[in-house]
Structures are given as C-alpha cells and as structure tokens.
Structure 1
Amino acid sequence: MARESLDIRDDDAAAGGEAVSGGFKYSKEEVKEQRKATLEFLKRVGKSLFTGKDLVSVSMPVTLFEPRSFLERVTDVWSFAPHYLRLANETGDKVERFKLIMAMAIASLRQTVIARKPFNPILGETFEASFEDGAQIFAEQTSHHPPVSHYEVDGPNGDYHIDGYAAWSASLKGPNSLKGHQTGPINIRLRDGTEYTYNLPYLVLQGIMVGTRVLQYEGVMKFRDISNNLECDLAFNPDKAGGFFKSLFSRKKRAPADTISGECKRGEETLFEVQGSWLSHLECNGKRYWTIDEVKKSTPTLVDNPLPSDCRYREDLIALKSGDQKTAQKAKEDMENKQRFERKLRKEHSKKMKKQNK
C-alpha cells in the first residue's frame, strides 16, 4: 500500500497527529501549556544551553514532566515485543524472523512521541514490571554522570531475552529546536539462541517556543542478525540522508520526513527492500508487517512488593501524580541536591584511594 493512500495525516493545527511534511505534530493545547514553563526555564538557565550543553544534566521544572521515571519510560521501546517475538519463535524462516524483529522495533517508535519528559533516575534507582505474556522487566540506573540505565526483559519459559543499556543525551539546536538521542545497543535472543541487535535513531524536536511543534526521527537504525549474518541499515528521512538511501525512493515529490527505507543483505546479496513510515506502517518487498492500530501494544504491569529502590517510591513522582506540583518540585530539588552531594563524596573517596594505592 502506498504511503499517500493511508490518509492518516491531520491538517488541523489544533489537533495532535502526523504533520503534513512529515513527523509527529503535537496539539496546540499540549504545546501552549508547556511553552510558558519553557520560557521561564530558558530565562533562568541563560545562554549556557545554546553552547550544546547536555540538557539531561540541567534541572528543569516539574511542569515539563510526566509522572514517570526514565526507567519506566524506556519500556515503551518494547511495547510490541510480546507480539512480534512470539511470531518470530513460531517460524523457522531466518529471513522472516528478521523482518519481524524490525517490525517490532519500528512499531514501538510511534509510542515514544510523548510531550512531557520523564524524571531522570537517581543512581541505584530500579524499576520492576511484567508484560501480560509473563515476561519480567528489570531496569536500574547504573551511572549518574553520564546517566546510564541498564535493563533486561526475561520472556516466559525462556522464549526471549532482551538486554542492553540506555544513555540519553539532549541539547538545543538554537532557541527553537532540540536534538536528543538514546544510545546503547538493544540485544535480543530468541528461544533457539538466535541473537539480534539494533540501535535507535536520534530525534529532532522543532517548535519549542514558536510555530508548530513537530518531532522527527532521523539517522540510521542498524539491525543485525548476528547468528545468520543478516543486516539492514534503515534510514529515516532518506531524502535528507541523500545518496544510496534517497535512491530507494525514486519519486518526483519529496517524501514525508517520517519515511523510512533500507535493504536487507547477507554479504553482498540483497534479500529484500524495506519501506514505510515510523508513524504508520512497515513493508518488506511490499508485504505489510506493521500497520498502526492493527497490533495491540503491551503495557507493563507494576509488580507487587518491588525493591525499596523502585522509582514508584520517589516522592516527586508521587506528588506530581497526585497533582501537587509545588511539593513535587521541592522533592525533586532535594533529591538532586542529595545526589550531587553523594557524587562529591564518591569523587573525594576515589581520589583518596588512588593516593593510598600509589
């Protein structure tokens, strides 16, 4: 099915949806509510942000946050794992499995277009949950500076295993746009031991202060079937990428920015082409593997009696969830100050130990 025939774009500027030129467009209501807080924040932090400083290390007002830790939000990337990994285990076709892995990854990107940012986890913070298929989810903040989260998902009866780490960075690209990237490999192992790995593209958020706010993914997702020597470099916004990727879309009219394209290869042999949009669908040689709203996503269920370090016990999250922004802001600042103090102590102790070991 051609991209234009989906008819999913929303031209009403007041509604959230797919921007006509490509990317995800946020609703006016969402944007208006945040811009006042964003302006006050930019006034407070001054010009330092426009030098490329990492926004992750900058304290922001809770009015810009959703009541979730990044440890919980990172699970959005696996929203379709139970569905597609079950299908992958059911087929013995190596190429078909690879297509399903890519469909799982692309489908989940549509779940990440959330207007508000998550809370930065503190060192040692954890998160535990489960999917409806019985998969157990574990995540922990393993580094404070730079911020790094490690995670693993154990599928039911050893059907699949997902692990990796996520290091998030973000910086302003001038006063009206932002670039962010979750780096770190996402590794998957199926029941028979077949192993895959892939990375996430980076995002660009335009219209922070003026104009329509649109989120676009750009760059290249590198998919690898380590066990069977299959690989696919999937380009986002291939017209912008140019070169080989642009040639896959030989059309007179420029493709929407959310277009994706690539080729799957085994060595020098091309096995199939991949085309679609991260907002709506994915096709391999014209066969549809994902269409938005046709596959049910999985939402993690919180486990009973998690570790005391679980993010659900954070006072700032609890307060924000109840609508008490003032208490949430105070709790967030207290937690950040404590973390800075503990980091200082660790640094001093490390210097002391190095001197003793000389």
Structure 2
Amino acid sequence: MGDLKPQQQEAEMKGWLHKWTNYLKGYQKRWFVLSNGLLSYYRNQAEMAHSCRGTINLVSAVIHTVDSSNFIISNGGTQTFHLKATNEIERQRWVTALELAKARAIRITESEDEEDYDLVPTQSDKNELQTMLKLLSAKLEDLTTCNNLIIKHGTALQRSLTELEQLETGSDSTAKVKAVNERATLFRITSNAMINRIQLEATYSDDDEFYDAEEHTTGEFLVTLPGKGHRRTCSGMSLQSEGQGYADGASSESDTDLESEEARVITRRRSNQEEYYDPNQPSWMCEKSENGSFEQHEATENEGKRKRRTSIPERPNYSLSLWSIMKNCIGKELTKIPMPVNFNEPLSTLQRLTEEYEYSELLDKAAKMEDSYEQMAYVAAYTISSYATTSNRSGKPFNPLLGETYECDRTDDYGWRCFTEQVSHHPPMLAQHCEGKGWTCWQEFSMSSKFRGKYLQIIPLGIAHLVFTSTGHHYTWRKVTTTVHNIIVGKLWVDHHGEMDIVNHMTGDKCHLKFIPYSYFSRETPRKVTGVVTDKEGTANWVLQGTWDHKIEGARVVGSEGSVRGKPVLETATPKVLWKRYMPPREYEKMYNFTELACQLNEPEEGIAPTDSRLRPDQRLMEEGFWDEANQVKVLLEEKQRATRRKREQEAEMSTAEGRPYPGYEPIWFKKETDPVTGNPVHIFQGKYWESKTKQDWSACPNIFL
C-alpha cells in the first residue's frame, strides 16, 4: 500500500475548491485530493489518471485562514495556494483535515531513524517524484504536439515558397503571395505557441499560476491610463490596480481553453518587450535600433574588442554543514565569523560591487536625456537593476584584505572603467570610482550585519553618488536591507526590502522606491518594487513598478483629475519597459549562478596592480576547484593580515608613549575628504591609479598576498 501513488490510495479528503489563478481568470474551480500528507489538485476528476496540476507537501506548510471562506497554504516560498470554499463550514472541514494530515505527516517524519531519513527517500518524496514525472510527461506530450504542428506548417510554407519561385507570369502572383502569407502566419503562431509554452513552464511550475504582475497593491495616488480605463493608486512606493493590467489591455475571452488563453496572454505581454536574448551572444552585443528593435552587431564592429571568457570551472560538490560552523556565532558581526571558502563564491566584495554596472546602458541613456524626470526614472531603474543577479546568488563573496584593489576596464564594450580599493578593515569599508560615457559614479560601501540563526541580515552603510557631465545633475541614494533566509534548514534564498530615496541635488527631484518584503501570507508579487518620481514640490511626474529580479516599467504622469477618497487621481501615458534583465548563460547554475559579466570579473589579466583581487591566491584556487588548498591559503592570508595589524598597533602605542602623532593607515589610491553635498567624510579617488598602470609603477602598493 505504501508504494501506491497518492491518487490510488484512499484519500483522507477530496472535493471541489476554488483556486486563485490570476486577474484574467480569478478563482477557478479545481478538484483537490488530500492523501498521505500531500495536497494535490486537478482541473477535474478525470484528469487524476494522467496529469496532476500541482502538489504541496504539508510537512513544512503553513495553513492560514483569511475569512469565512478563504484560506491559504504555503510551504515556504516555492508554492502558495490561495483557496476558497463554498461556505464557512466547508472551509473549516478542509482546514481541520489539513491540520490533522500535517500533524500526522510530521509525526511520521520525526519517528524515522535520522540516519535512514538522510539516506532513504520517504514515501512523501516518492509520491512527489511520481507526481512530477507524470506532470513532466504531460508537458512533453504538449511540446511534441507543437513540434509536429511546426513541421507540418513549415513543410506547407516551404511548398508555397517553391511554387512562388516557379511562377512564370504575374497573373497568379497575388493569390500565391496571399497563400504564402497565410502559411507563414500559421508557422509563426505555432512556433510562438511552442516557445511560449516552454517559457511558461520554465517560469511557473504551476501552469495555473500565471499571476498578473500588478495585483494586490496599495498606495496614495490614483493613476488612470488613457484609453484603457486604467486607474491606479500609487504612493512614492506602490501602485494599486483597479482595472486591467498595468501595460496590458488584455481581458479573458473564455475559459473553455485555458492553456490557449495563457499562451495568448504571454504573447501579448511579450510582444512589447524591448530586448531579446541570444544565448550565443553576450548581452552587450544586443543594441536597440532606431525603430525600436534589437540588432546584432556585425563582426567587423567587434574588431579591437578583447575576447573574454564566458564560463568558469564548474563548482565542485563539497559538502559541509553550515550550522556546525555558525551555531556558536549567533549575534556576531558577519565579518568576524571565520568562514571556509565552501560558502563563498570565487569573487571578492570589490568585484561583486563592480558587477552593479552590468546595466550601465541605463546610465548612458539617462546621460543624454534633457527631461530631468525621465532621467530620474532611468537612474531609479539602474539602482534596481543592481540587485538582479542576487535572486539566485547566495554565495558569500571574499572579504577583501586591507589594501586589496580591483580594476575593471570595460571601455571597449560597456564604455566604462572602474576602480575599487579596500580602505578600512575595522570597520570594513571599500571605496569605488567609475567613469562612464557622460557620467561618473562613486560610492563608499560598508555594512552592519548580524546572524540571527534562521536568517542573516545585512544593512548597507554609505552613500552612492552619480553625476552627469553635460547637466551637472548630482544624484545620491542609499542601498536597502538584504536578508538571506534559511541559513540553518532549507534552501537559501535572498530578499531585498526597505525604502530608497534617490535625490537630484540640483533640481530637488526625488524618486521614492519601495522594495516590498516577501511574505508567506501576502498576495503581493514576490520581489516587487514600486515608486514615484516627484519634483521638489512633491508633484508626481513618473510612476514605476516591477520586480528587482526581472524588469521595471515606467509611465509618465500626463494629468490629474481631482481626488478619490482623498487621494489625487493621476492620468499616465502608456507604460514602457525601462529595464529588463538579461538571461544568464546556459548551465549557469553549475558556475555559482554567475552571469556572463560575473564570469569575466575574475579573469586573469596582465599589467594589473599586485594588490588586485584576481591575484589573490585563495580565491584563484577556489575558482579552479582546489577548495582544500584554498582554505589552507586563506588561513595563511588572514594570519598575515592579523600580524600586520598587530605591528601597526604596536607602532601606534610607541608613538603615543613618545608623544608623537601616529598617522594610522592611509589608503593608496583614495583620500579622505569632506563631501560637499552631504558634509560627511568620504574617500575620493585621486585618479593616479591609471597613470601608475600606464607606467607600470606599483611601488606604492603594499605586499598583502603571500
């Protein structure tokens, strides 16, 4: 009996419930089966024999009642079911059955021998695997059908093209051209359907769960999109939909063919995307043409550009218990916890911060804008884009040694060059300076971090600056808080949350962004960011919305129509995509989930300073897969740094005893000055590094590596 599939066993409870799908279809009636600690659902009872639409394991699930008929089941972020019963009695029957099933499943799990539990899959795991295999089989059948249709319509299209080429007179040309167009349209529709099906299944594990990106939000302004009946409430950080989608006038046509409707919705949404991804080309080789499309550079345009690597050695499979290391470190600063390289990624914090310029084309575009509000919107999109790569990157970067540097000259492709130096060790602080096409950006980065047991919270300190050369517009902002969840148990995942104010100190314009924290019980889109651009009087000029790991859209405010419930009603132009994330390279999960730019940051290079992160031996050994050796070298480097610090402290004590001033440590390439904007002390780049590189004069560099 234990080897039977969930639907073949005697169900503990089964029946109809309404499950939330999206704003196009709302709640849809689905058949639910509770068995063996698993809650599964199907579109109907007949579907139980061949295709399960989704399953949630109750062992780690949270069951939350909303009102008299609604309740929510979530297993910690990967799956959430929003359900509605016909009445309160029916809802309570389900909630009671679910709680009992959960308690029973937990008891079974805890009663198993711990060693056997690690080595032998539980019945729940077997059932989940069997369910997943069925689901994958059904998806494969769908794709096979699409493939057959593509072959059929492709053959017909080829036949029509051949007939058109064989025409000797123009008498039948109109009819033939029409036939070719019709068959080409069929071929295109079929191909798009298959592509969209693949993308849909890759993005959403539950094919019912195509959530509209603008659902369940709150705010303070009411925004109307012209010609579409769109009205939105928005504050400086959020928008509320009271009609259709944000940039999508689509409506649900019928529920008779749900999968076709989903494909049409995806097609409509993606028809307005402002970029495409070719996995065989780096992101910088895709540029937008004047007509709005993206064109690939010819090979001749790439002459003179350095050929860079697109991959790094795969991450080896080393197992090590994080809890065994960190159980005695709760409450301590992250920088004071000795960590092996097993929990790192082969990049330093200096390099990780440089990765923020991956979407520097946003700054290039903003530098050319005369409209300060639109410029602010693109600056805001840039600040959000810097978080994109962290959505699936939970590895810790190497803590830089005092005096460690990193240069990144990408003027040949991205159009910028950046230099970063670790200017303080306690507290750890780095200074960075980047020069782009029409803009300059600099920042100090430090952080306060605490390990809380279940999660690690990182609060960035310091201010980022951006100046556009042509206008002198000077922007500043502070980063939001980052939390790494499931430190002890479960899969690590990262969330960014908090509020960010971007200020244009020349005009007084401000953009208030809100990074909405993820919650099990919220219907907010995960990783959502909202915002509004205002002038110095507080008048809204642009509204922004999207997610920090995917894309950001913006809409210009074109008018106001009084107020509703005390909130001003704003009318906006059609929203447009300001930023969209580039897709990562193939099999990137084997390379620490690095993007292509991240793979290139630690690529060896000649002529760099002897303090450059690329020359750090433990980091290089880790990248090459020699983790044991890397850990040994890491210990030696840290001991050398501690010895240097003790020597400096002894010199300071001797100077004090003799009545002489002790200057303390001074950075090599930055100098502490007073920030004219904020009035705070800040490290300013002196510009001498690039001169020293040209001369290959590194006499000022300390010996920090082995």
Same fold (TM over 0.5): yes
Task: Spell out, residue by residue over 1:2-37, the C-alpha distance to the aligned partner (whole angstroms, 9 max, x if none).
Answer: x9799685448xxxxxxxxxxxxxxxxx9xx68733
Task: Spell out, residue by residue over 1:302-325, the C-alpha distance to the aligned partner (whole angstroms, 9 max, x if none).
Answer: 653111111111110121122111
Quick check: 1:200 aligned with 2:479?
yes
Work out the CA distance in 2 between the residues paired with 1:271 and 1:238: 25
Q: Who is 1:153 aligned against?
A: 434
Classify 1:238/1:176 alpha carbon distance in 2 versus 1 (closer, same or farther; 3 Å). closer
Q: Who is 1:96 aligned against?
A: 374
Task: Spell out, residue by residue over 1:256-305, the C-alpha distance to the aligned partner (whole angstroms, 9 max, x if none).
Answer: 34111222222232222222211222122333212233899983666531
Give secondary structure in 2 for the equivalent of 1:211: coil
Residue number among 576, 592, 601 corresponding to 1:287 in the alignment: 576
Work out the CA distance in 1 between the residues paired with 2:408 and 2:503: 28
User: Unaligned stretches of 5+ in structure 1?
Assistant: 13-29, 241-251
Does structure 1 retain, via aligned residues, the 8 Å contact 2:459–2:481?
Answer: yes
Does structure 2 retain, via aligned residues, the 8 Å contact 1:220–1:234?
Answer: yes
Quick check: 1:116 aligned with 2:395?
yes
Matches within 5 A, 1:1-358: 9-11=203-205, 36-43=320-327, 46=328, 49-50=329-330, 52-81=331-360, 83-113=361-391, 114-131=393-410, 132-156=413-437, 159-173=438-452, 175-192=453-470, 193-237=472-516, 254-267=523-536, 268-285=538-555, 286-293=575-582, 299=597, 304-357=606-659
Work out the CA distance in 1 between the residues paired with 2:485 and 2:584: 29
Q: CA deviation at 1:212?
A: 4.0
Give secondary structure in 2 for the equivalent of 1:115: coil
Task: Spell out, residue by residue over 1:181-214, the C-alpha distance to the aligned partner (whole angstroms, 9 max, x if none).
Answer: 3322111111212211112111111112223432
Q: Who is 1:27 aligned against?
A: none
Task: Spell out, residue by residue over 1:131-160, the C-alpha distance to the aligned partner (whole angstroms, 9 max, x if none).
Answer: 22342110100001111010111124xx21
Classify 1:282/1:66 alpha carbon distance in 2 versus 1 (closer, same or farther; 3 Å). same
Classify 1:330/1:239 alpha carbon distance in 2 versus 1 (closer, same or farther; 3 Å). closer
Work out the CA distance in 1 between the residues paired with 2:526 and 2:498: 11
Higher relative CO (Cα under 8 Å, sequence separation at least 6) belongs to 1
Work out the CA distance in 1 between the residues paired with 2:23 and 2:502: 27
Does structure 1 retain, via aligned residues, the 8 Å contact 2:444–2:463?
Answer: yes
Work out the CA distance in 2 between the residues paired with 1:63 and 1:336: 16
Task: Spell out, residue by residue over 1:28-84, the C-alpha distance to the aligned partner (whole angstroms, 9 max, x if none).
Answer: xx9xx68733133125xx2xx22x211112110111111111111111222112x11
Classify 1:269/1:239 alpha carbon distance in 2 versus 1 (closer, same or farther; 3 Å). farther
Does structure 2 retain, via aligned residues, the 8 Å contact 1:223–1:233?
Answer: yes
Does structure 1 retain, via aligned residues, the 8 Å contact 2:380–2:511?
Answer: no
The code of the aligned residue for 1:291 comes to K
Classify 1:238/1:124 alpha carbon distance in 2 versus 1 (closer, same or farther; 3 Å). closer
Does structure 2 retain, via aligned residues, the 8 Å contact 1:171–1:180?
Answer: yes
Q: What's the TM-score, normalizing by structure 2?
A: 0.42
Give secondary structure in 2 for the equivalent of 1:329: helix
Aligned residues: 319
Name which one, 1 or 2, has greater alpha-carbon Rg.
2
Does structure 2 retain, via aligned residues, the 8 Å contact 1:238–1:260?
Answer: no
Give secondary structure in 2 for the equivalent of 1:36: coil
Sequence identity of aligned pairs in percent? 25
Q: What's the TM-score, normalizing by structure 1?
A: 0.80
The code of the aligned residue for 1:236 comes to F
The code of the aligned residue for 1:58 comes to I
Q: CA deviation at 1:239?
A: 8.7
Q: CA deviation at 1:357?
A: 3.0
Classify 1:351/1:222 alpha carbon distance in 2 versus 1 (closer, same or farther; 3 Å). farther
